[in-house]
Structure formats: C-alpha cells, structure tokens
C-alpha cells in the first residue's frame, strides 16, 4: 500500500523534473540558435545589411573585426604579449515577452 506522503513526494518529484526539463529544453533551443548564428565582419557593408533586415534588427549574429583602444591597450601581467580593451558602451535590447508560466512580462 502506498501512503499519501509517498504520493505527495512522487508527485512533487515529477513536477520538479518536468519543470527542469522544460527549462533545459528552452535553453537548449536558444543555444542552438546561437551556435547557428551567422558571422559578419565589421565593415562598410554592415549598416546597409542592418537597415535591410526586418525591423532593422539582426537576431543572433556574431560580429568579427578589429578593435582599437581609445587610449592604450591593457597588457596582461600573467601572459606575455596578451593585450585587451575594455568595452565602454554596452547596448542591451530587452523585449517584453509574456511568460504564461509566471503570468508576467
């Protein structure tokens, strides 16, 4: 005979497993789209490509190009010959999407 406590534990275990599997599949779809993102070069053709896209937005693209520092490049103290720059401006576009599970935007 199965007790009510065992049924409760089994039900909650199945609910949590379903929730975590849903979240895993959702993130896996996003990762697949990122992996398939086209690689574009930063050149003179990029503005015309963006303006020709739907909504003037390119979803999931990888930009490749040369970055020049504003003042001086940062050099690594640990790896000889390794240099980097700090990004000063970061533009994030947040979309409002209705989340039916949480019932919020």
Which of 89, 92, 93 is closest to 70 using CA atoms? 89
pLDDT of residue 10: 96
Q: What is the pTM of this model?
A: 0.47
Low-confidence ranges of the chain (pLDDT < 50): none
Q: Which two structure tokens, joined as six digits, stand for 61?
A: 């693209």
- Rounded-to-integer distance, Cα 66 and Cα 48, Å: 19
Q: Structural domain tally of the chain?
A: 1
By the 8 A CB rule, do 83 and 76 touch? yes
Q: Is residue 67 part of a domain?
A: yes
* CA angle (62 as vertex; 61, 64 as ends), nearest 5: 140
Q: Is residue 50 part of a domain?
A: yes
Rg over CA atoms, the chain: 23
Task: Give the structural domain span for 77.
Answer: 4-84
pLDDT of residue 88: 65
């Amino acid at each position: 005979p199965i007790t009510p406590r065992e049924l409760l534990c089994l039900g909650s275990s199945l609910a949590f497993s379903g929730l975590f599997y849903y979240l895993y599949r959702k993130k896996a779809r996003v990762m697949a789209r990122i992996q398939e993102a086209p690689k574009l070069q930063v050149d003179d053709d990029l503005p015309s490509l963006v303006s020709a896209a739907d909504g003037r937005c390119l979803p999931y693209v990888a930009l490749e190009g040369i970055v020049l520092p504003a003042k001086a490049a940062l050099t690594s103290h640990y790896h000889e010959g390794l240099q980097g720059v700090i990004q000063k401006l970061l533009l994030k576009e947040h979309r409002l999407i209705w989340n039916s599970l949480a019932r919020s935007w």
